[in-house]
Each structure stands twice: as C-alpha cells, then as structure tokens.
Amino acid sequence: MRDEISNKSDRLGLEEYRHSTAHVLADAVKQLFPGTKLGIGPAIKNGFYYDFDQESRFSDSDFVAIEKRMREIIAKDLPFERSVVSREEARRIFEAQGESYKLELLSKVPDDEEVVLYRHGDFVDLCRGPHVESTGRLGVFKLTSVAGAYWLGDEHNPMLQRIYGAAFTDERELEEHLRLVEEAKKRDHRILGRQLDLFSIDEEAGAGLVYWHPNGAMLKHIIEDFWLKEHLKRGYELLSTPHIAKSSLWHASGHYSYYKENMYILPVGNEEYVLKPMNCPMHLQVYRSRVRSYRELPIRYAELGTVYRRERSGTLHGMFRVRGFTQDDAHIFCTPEQVEAEVGSVVDLALHMLKVFGFEQLGIDLSLMDRGKRQDYIGDPEVWDRSEAILRKVLQAKSLDFREMLGEAAFYGPKIDFQLVDIYGHKQQGATIQLDFNLPKRLDLDYIGSDGSEQHVVLIHRTILGALERFVAALIESCGGAFPLWLSPKQIAVLPITDTQHEFASKVRDDLLDAGFRVLLDDRNEKLGFKIREHTKLPYLLIIGKREQAEGSVSVRRRFEGQIGAMKLDEFISMAREEAQKRVIFTEGDRR
Ligand SMILES: [Zn+2]
Ligand SMILES: [Zn+2]
C-alpha cells in the first residue's frame, strides 16, 4: 500500500494528519447533530474513524453535509491547542457536554498520568495527541463508510456508529486509494455471490448460516471432489461422523469447559446434546474404537465436517466469518518418530493445493510457546523443544519464508499457519497444522508399541483450506468471480444467433455435456451482444450462426480475450479438456 512509508517521521506525520482529521469529523458531526456523544477517533491504515452515539443512522446525504462542514472548519485554519487540566476540570467539561463515553475514558486515565485536552475552535477532546498545528493543514480526505461498532469492542456495550474516512497528505494518493477501494468493492464476495447466484445468507433464517445456491454448491462440490482425490492419493481415509453428540463427549474432550461460550447446546429430554463446533472428538472416537498397534500408524482420518460455532453477531462478515461451516479437517495419529515426515507431507499438500487454486502468495507463521512466561502448557518441556524444532526444521528444509511467533502457541502444542494473501495484501486464514500433546493424554489415545508397551500417540490436527465458506469467499475475491475453467460452475455457454440454429445448438450442448463439461444453452430471443454481456464471466462462449451450422463448427470466444476463431467442436473439446485437466488458473487473457 502506498501509505507504508518506511521513513518513521513521515509515518508519524501521516498518523497525526489522519487523527487530526478525525477531530474535525467529530467537530462537524457535533455541530450538525447536537447531542451526539463521542466515542474514540484514532488514525488507522489509509485514514481514520470516529465512533458516535447518535440515534438516527448516518446516511449518504449526511456524509455530504458532514464533509462540507469539515471543509468549513478546515478553511477557518483553527489551531489545535494542547492543555493539561485537573481531573475535576476535565470532568466538569465533559459532564456539561453529556459526553458519558469521554467520562468513562477519563476515569481510566492512570493516576500518575496527566489529563490532556486538545481544542480547536469550540471543540474539545480528551486526547494525548499529537496533532497537526492547525485545521488548515488538513483537507485531503473523504468519508467512505459507516458501520456498527460496540463501545470498546465489547458486545455487552452499546452499538455505536463508526464513520470511516480515508486521508492522505497527497491528493493523488487519496485518488489511487479510492480507486483501489472501488476495485475491491467490485470483487466483494457478497456482491459477486449475489450477482453470480452463488450463495445467500438470510438474517431472518439465521445470521451466519450459508445457503449455497446451484452455482455455489457446484463450485463447492468441485473443490471437495478435488480435495478428496488429493487426500486419497496421500493415504488419508475418509470418515463421516455425526453432527451432534452428548455433552459427556465434550466434557471428556475439555471443550465443554473452555469452549462452551461458542457451542450450541441442545437440551433433549433429560439429556443434553451439543452441535459439534469441531470434528476432533468424533475422529478420536473412531481411533479409540479398538486397540491400535504401531504397525497401523500413521492413521490419517479426513472429513469434510460441517461444524457450528456461536460467533458474536458483530463479528459476522459475509462468508469470511460465519456460524456454520464445513472444515476440510483431518487428524493424523502417529508415533513420535513419524511426526517430521507427517508434518512435512502436510506442508507439501498445503503448498500444492493452495497453488492449484491460484494462491501463490502465502504468509507462514510458526507459533511457539513462550515457556518463560507461561506455565499452564501441557506436555514435557523436552517434548516441546523437540516438536518446535521439528516444525522449524520442516519449514527450513523446504526453504520457506516464515515468521516465528513466540507466545502464540496454544497451551497444548505448537502450530504452523498459512495465510492466503490477496492482491490488496489482505490476509485470510488458510491451512493450519497443529500438534496436540493434550488430547492423547487426556483421552488415553494409545497404541501398542513394538516392545508391547502402551504409548500415547502423537496427534496432529490439520486443515488445508480451512473453512470452505471462507476459502470460497477468498477465491471469489481473488479472481473477481471469473473462475478458472476447471472451477467454473458453468464453463461454457452455447449462444445460437437466431431460432434457425437452435437444433444444432442443442446438439452442441448435448455433445459438450457428454464430454463432461458444465454447459448452458442460452436460446432466448435476445440480441447476441446482450447474451455475450450476460455471460461475460464464463470462460468460454460458443457462438453459433448460419455459417457455423452449415460447416458444423463453433465460433469460440474466450473470456477477456474475445474471438479466438471458428473450430470443429471436437477441436474445441480437446483444447478445453486440456485446460481443465491442467487446472490452468490464468489464461493469457486473465492476466491482461
Ligand atoms: Zn487527538
Ligand atoms: Zn482437531
């Protein structure tokens, strides 16, 4: 991003600029909407925000008025004045203005810290600063959006309205930023999801619960099908386990004590069931169903398991953050000697699969335990040493760039995380490989060793795609809804120019279906140009006119490239088949 200025003083200057603009926003809002209470207003990446407690919802026309008032305040070139006041003085000022949130913040200022106010004109804010000299220094900004935000991020607190703005010291940088935001909006998976009829979420039927429409369900099925084949090739076995289990299972696994807040708990008669928030206990049940020998290990159980988690409504976001989702989950049970090879092959699988979907840019984190600071971890220090060393060694051996995150490990084991990085630098959680020293001990997950003694198995939890919902959302945004041929829910549209070609067009459609393609025939009585525009996201359009019918050929249009010429249907089929089989992500036209 353009604002990532390496020079620290420049960056500080930009932060002051953005934060000072937030003061001007708050001033303008209070002038236009008397009685509005202020929350906080920090600088953020690309701009700033300010939180307001205000009964009516801010609208687009309010934005116009607020921006206008902000420009007036800026034109007055009011100096930002710093003053240190007593607590009583500050309390008197904010009480007089009914600023209850500021009073709350004031009460949290530590005793040994002075209370600092900043004023410009009649506006006063509790703030440590720093700010630019005067409002006249500001002016390159734009209000961009409004969203709900809980006071102090706590859902038990009132929901405030957060107005976001972009601000830069350079007009061209602001324009470039706004252009990127517009571009990102066009790729927003919620918008494309509706346009391409992929999925919907109905708040009335349940927030965070995804309805996959035919196109989306097809896309999900293609991904799952690919996933299964890749796993079977690598010695995984498929499981299918129940969606609910009695509380006792979750008490035994420990979820009931530390994950209860996120679980849907169902009373049934005198019993209590839990809708599974994770697949682990189910997979462990299968492992524990009989005595295991070292000869059977490693065992790799995989399941596309649908789980449900009570996420707070404020955190839900399209398919990125949902309450019901399918995890491409697997659990590997192995001996300590097998850990390195197993982790290595999971890393290979993750790199391979994510690359096939076009995610070549990945962030990799290795989360380690800060054992100097934390004492509540499970497992022997030597086991931790060895395991952390193994994970590090695996990543180094593959020459992967990764960050070591000391103190980020779970209490039960170290892990490796892969993040998908999109063209805007946004990160989404991808694969996770987690070692677990807790559950094998807690649940006696044993095997009979070569010497006949009982040993605890080593447990590895892992997902490659993570939640399919989140993965598909990232996929939609990464390709802007123009899916590669092998993934496209509909791959080819057959477009006859007039009625006379319908019969031949139907035959072309049938031949393509026979060849295994996902095809639609658009024989509506519409102009050809209209039909082409309607199917602009499809990889191939086959146009059939009088000449094609007479010659038994098809005229081929490739997405983003346009006409690539007329060819015999067989010729087209073998070309397209090769592209799909190779799982080509970008054709030349996509890279334009
Ligand atoms: Zn300030
Ligand atoms: Zn697990």
- How high is the pLDDT of residue 266? 96
Tell me the pLDDT tens digit for each residue of 404-448. 999 989 888 999 999 988 766 678 888 999 999 889 988 999 999
Classify residue 4 by burial, with Cβ atoms within 10 Å: 0-12, 13-18, 19+.
Answer: exposed
Which residues hold their Cβ within 5 A of ligand 1, which is an ion? 127
Catalytic one among 19, 177, 331, 456?
Answer: 331
Cα torsion angle, 55, 323, 186, 528, sign: negative
Same fold, 218-241+279-479 and 492-591: no
Q: Are 39 and 50 in contact (CB under 8 A)?
A: yes
Q: Which ligand is nearest to the CA of 116?
A: 1
Peptide bond into 414 cis (omega under 30): no
Ligand 2 centroid to residue 493 C-alpha, Å:
42
**Entry pTM:** 0.80
Residue ranges covered by each domain of the chain: 8-173, 218-241+279-479, 492-591
Ligand 1 centroid to residue 28 C-alpha, Å:
15
Ligand 2 centroid to residue 436 C-alpha, Å:
9
Classify residue 25 by burial, with Cβ atoms within 10 Å: 0-12, 13-18, 19+.
Answer: buried
Query: Would you say residue 489 has pLDDT above 90?
Result: yes
Catalytic one among 3, 27, 329, 522?
Answer: 329
Active site residue 31: no
Which residues hold their Cβ within 5 A of ligand 2, which is an ion? 280, 461
Catalytic one among 37, 120, 255, 415?
Answer: 415
CA distance 194 to 279: 30
Q: Are 117 and 125 in contact (CB under 8 A)?
A: yes
Ligand 2 centroid to residue 289 C-alpha, Å:
17
Classify residue 28 by burial, with Cβ atoms within 10 Å: 0-12, 13-18, 19+.
Answer: buried
Tell me the pLDDT tens digit for each residue of 156-214. 888 899 999 999 999 999 999 999 888 888 889 999 999 999 999 998 899 999 999 99
Active site residue 327: yes
- How high is the pLDDT of residue 291? 96
Tell me the pLDDT tens digit for each residue of 275-295. 999 999 999 999 999 999 999
β-pairing, 324-334 with 299-308? antiparallel
**To the nearest whole number, what is the mean pLDDT of the chain?**
92
Active site residue 415: yes
Catalytic one among 19, 461, 470, 531?
Answer: 461
Ligand 2 centroid to residue 439 C-alpha, Å:
10
Domain covering 492-591 assigned CATH 3.50.50.60 in the classification: no
CA distance 473 to 264: 25
Active site residue 590: no
CA distance 540 to 258: 51
Q: Which ligand is nearest to the CA of 120?
A: 1
Residue 109 neighbours by CB distance under 10 Å: 15
The residue behind tokens 């996201």 is: 537
Phi first, then psi, for residue 461 (nearest 5°) are -90, 140
Active site residue 19: no
Q: Which ligand is nearest to the CA of 40?
A: 1
Query: Would you say residue 264 has pLDDT above 80?
Result: yes
Tell me the pLDDT tens digit for each residue of 53-88. 998 889 888 999 999 999 999 999 999 999 999 999
Tell me the pLDDT tens digit for each residue of 36-62. 999 999 999 899 999 999 988 898 889
Active site residue 309: yes
- How high is the pLDDT of residue 589? 55
Tell me the pLDDT tens digit for each residue of 572-588. 999 999 999 998 876 65
- How high is the pLDDT of residue 587? 61
Peptide bond into 298 cis (omega under 30): yes
- How high is the pLDDT of residue 424? 64
DSSP for 280-322 reads HHHHHHHHTTS--BGGG-SEEEEEEEEEE----GGG-BTTTB-
Tell me the pLDDT tens digit for each residue of 398-415. 999 999 999 989 888 999
Residues 11-33 have a mean pLDDT of: 93
Tell me the pLDDT tens digit for each residue of 323-332. 999 999 999 9
Q: Which ligand is nearest to the CA of 41?
A: 1
Three-class secondary structure of residue 543 per DSSP:
strand
Ligand 2 centroid to residue 101 C-alpha, Å:
42
DSSP 3-state helix, strand, coil percentages of the chain (rounded to 5)? 40, 30, 30
Q: Are 494 and 544 in contact (CB under 8 A)?
A: yes
Active site residue 446: no
- CATH superfamily for domain 218-241+279-479: Bira Bifunctional Protein; Domain 2 (3.30.930.10)
Ligand 2 centroid to residue 396 C-alpha, Å:
25
In the sheet that holds 264-268, the strands lie side by side as 244-246, 271-275, 264-268
Three-class secondary structure of residue 492 per DSSP:
strand
* Helix ranges, 246-400 (H): 247-253, 255-258, 280-287, 339-356, 381-397
CA distance 437 to 439: 6
CA distance 485 to 492: 9
CATH ID of 8-173, from 3.30.160.40, 3.40.50.2300, 3.30.980.10, 2.40.50.140: 3.30.980.10
pLDDT band at 129 (very low <50, low <70, confident <90, very high): confident
pLDDT band at 469 (very low <50, low <70, confident <90, very high): very high
